[in-house]
A = this chain, B = another copy of it.
């Protein structure tokens, strides 16, 4: 199963007439390991005085960004970090984490950006599992970091960013800025080969311990270029950091935006007023965001809302299909939505709902149906299919036959750290197995119908929780909804709906209203038998935590 790529092996390199011409083997002039570090190196050469990063009142040029990344690399080496060791990072979307995406690999090390919503136990687990050598903590997250360090035998060097020397000393840590200032060398390390690890991203771990997906330089480089092309980034682009950088390395946008020579606008806290202000002030052209952020923008108070005329603000969203109402309301404000799909195991987005010319003239409802599909592989992804889980063969492209979405790409992870069995289970038969159940439409766009575990089996019939949710979202008083299986002695399982009503509707809509609405719009056996009102639990990346809802549904008497 291992790839047969041996560029140094002349046997298949040359024409038959020169079967063993060693002059045609790779050499330094024509073979350079792919690494996204090169993107910062180039942008610092081409756009040295351009503002690369805006972080609050700070504006950092590409020359300064580059210089600071090199200082970071040398500071890490000075602290004893060796090639291949882990540097963990706990910070919101601020400058230091952008620096980390270049400075850590420039030290030959591996960046482990931690989810900022993890609790101390989860952080402690990761620090131990990753054998973290240096742990950089933003001052806003010092408490949870301290609690995590108390729970673990791991003893990384800890650096406090965003605070001064006194604050760092009070914690028994060192100051990030002081350590950077102390770095003297301007040398940095290229990866020795492009398969070297560049990042380690732990899955959110809704079941069991989190797994650490290892990324390599080759995949980071290619996925970033694929994103530049898929999202149309150029040197005039301005990218707002609504998506957390700890989430699949911000879908590789720290590297992609830098490759384009575009501008990063940091956003440490997701706040609608701040998002509207920054888009306006910096003429933002692109952002990525989970659906929950779109909902926040749409339902923001009128006094903070703005509409934009500087050109469409391109929004890539993933995790759930944007309902037609969301598409319409976002477009009214000057946004243009693209629906993406991806997962931690493939560096974020692998798949996007590439628009076709003829969609532009369709009525909104028809367009929304097309845009609800996850779509087609990005140009740097080698193959995508939906396969029958029994035979392993591609399902018919009929929009109905359900199978597992699988991906083959240079932007698929190396595997899970210290977890060969999970790696072998996920990367088998030549595919990354996503665990998502999908159909292949006649135009080869994939549409995810459910996570394997999100299928509700009631009286022997399969019910797609997504299908029920789609109906719930059409109810005029529903803001958010999620449907899971509730154990039932008679039917095995029945659908249980968790619903957040719009603020003005609270108290005026009953569970009977919701059930009746669903029965009008669905086969009766698919309508929820139970409805629970209230806010929905979400992961740090804005995904509704169905694992949590399933537990709640089990506990309903």
Which residues does A use to contact B, with CB under 8 Å? Answer: 1-9, 12-18, 21-34, 38-39, 42, 45-48, 50, 82-86, 110, 130-131, 192-197, 200, 214, 216, 218-219, 225, 228-229, 232, 234-236, 259-261, 354, 356-357, 376-377, 379-380, 382-383, 407-410, 412-415, 417-420, 423-424, 427-428, 430-432, 443-444
Pick the residue among B84, B192, B236 that contacts A14 (CB under 8 A).
B84
In the bound complex, residues from chain B placing their C-beta under 8 Å from that of A196 are: 12-13
Q: Select which of B7, B235, B236, B420 is within 8 A of A3 by beta carbon.
A: B7
* 8 shortest interchain CB distances as A-B pairs: A23-B420, A3-B31, A30-B412, A28-B430, A7-B195, A32-B382, A29-B427, A3-B26
In the complex, which residue of chain B has the Cβ closest to the Cβ of A228?
A: B229
Q: 19 extra interchain contacts, Cβ-Cβ under 8 A, other than A5-B194, A232-B232?
A: A4-B193, A5-B26, A7-B218, A13-B216, A14-B84, A15-B110, A16-B85, A18-B417, A23-B424, A24-B214, A27-B430, A28-B430, A29-B407, A29-B412, A30-B413, A32-B383, A32-B408, A46-B354, A225-B379
Chain B residues contacting A130 (CB-CB under 8 Å) are 15
List chain B residues, Cβ under 8 A from A423: 23-24
Can you offer 27 A-B residue contacts whose CB atoms are under 8 A?
A1-B27, A2-B26, A3-B7, A3-B8, A4-B192, A7-B193, A7-B194, A9-B193, A13-B196, A13-B216, A13-B414, A14-B197, A15-B84, A15-B86, A15-B110, A21-B415, A23-B415, A23-B420, A23-B423, A23-B424, A29-B427, A30-B414, A42-B376, A46-B444, A48-B443, A232-B232, A232-B234
Complex contacts, A354 vs chain B, CB 8 Å? 46, 235, 261
Smallest Cβ-Cβ distance to A224: which chain B residue: B379
A216 to B31, CA, bound (A): 11
The reply to whether A3 and B412 form a contact with Cβ atoms under 8 Å apart is: no
Would B444 and A29 count as touching, CB distance under 8 A? no
Tell me the bound Cα distance from A192 to B7 in angstroms: 10
Contact between A45 and B376 (Cβ–Cβ < 8 Å)?
yes
Q: Which residues of B contact A86 (CB under 8 A)?
A: 15
A424→B261 CA distance, assembly (Å)? 35
Known contacts: A31-B410, A32-B382, A32-B409. The answer to whether A25 contacts B2 by CB under 8 A is: yes
- Report the minimum CB–CB distance from A336 to chain B (whole Å): 14
On whether the beta carbons of A17 and B444 are closer than 8 Å, the reply is no
Interface on chain A toward B: helix, strand, loop, or mixed SS? loop
In the complex the two chains form, what is the Cα distance from A18 to B129 in whole Å? 11
A7 contacts B8, C-beta separation under 8 Å: no
Q: Are A17 and B259 in contact (CB under 8 A)?
A: no
Cβ-closest chain B residue relative to A225: B225
Partner of A415, one of B16, B24, B412, B432: B24
Q: How long is the Cα–Cα vector from A83 to B379 in the complex, in angstroms?
A: 26
- Complex contact B228–A32 (CB within 8 A): no
Q: Which residues of B contact A232 (CB under 8 A)?
A: 232, 234
Q: Does B29 contact A430, Cβ atoms closer than 8 Å?
A: yes
A217 to chain B, nearest CB (A): 11
Q: Point out the residues of chain B lying under 8 angstroms from A420, CB to CB.
A: 21-23
Among candidates B228, B419, B432, residue contacting A30 with C-beta atoms closer than 8 Å? B432
Complex contact B46–A15 (CB within 8 A): no
A131 and B17 within 8 A (CB): yes
Tell me if A30 and B379 are in contact (CB < 8 A).
Answer: no
Q: CA separation between A232 and B356, bound complex, in Å? A: 19
Closest B residue to A380 by beta carbon equals B225
Flag if B1 contacts A28 (CB, 8 Å). Answer: yes
Residues on the B chain within 8 Å of A431, using CB: 29
In the assembled complex, which residues on chain B have CB atoms less than 8 Å from the CB atom of A14?
A: 84, 197, 214
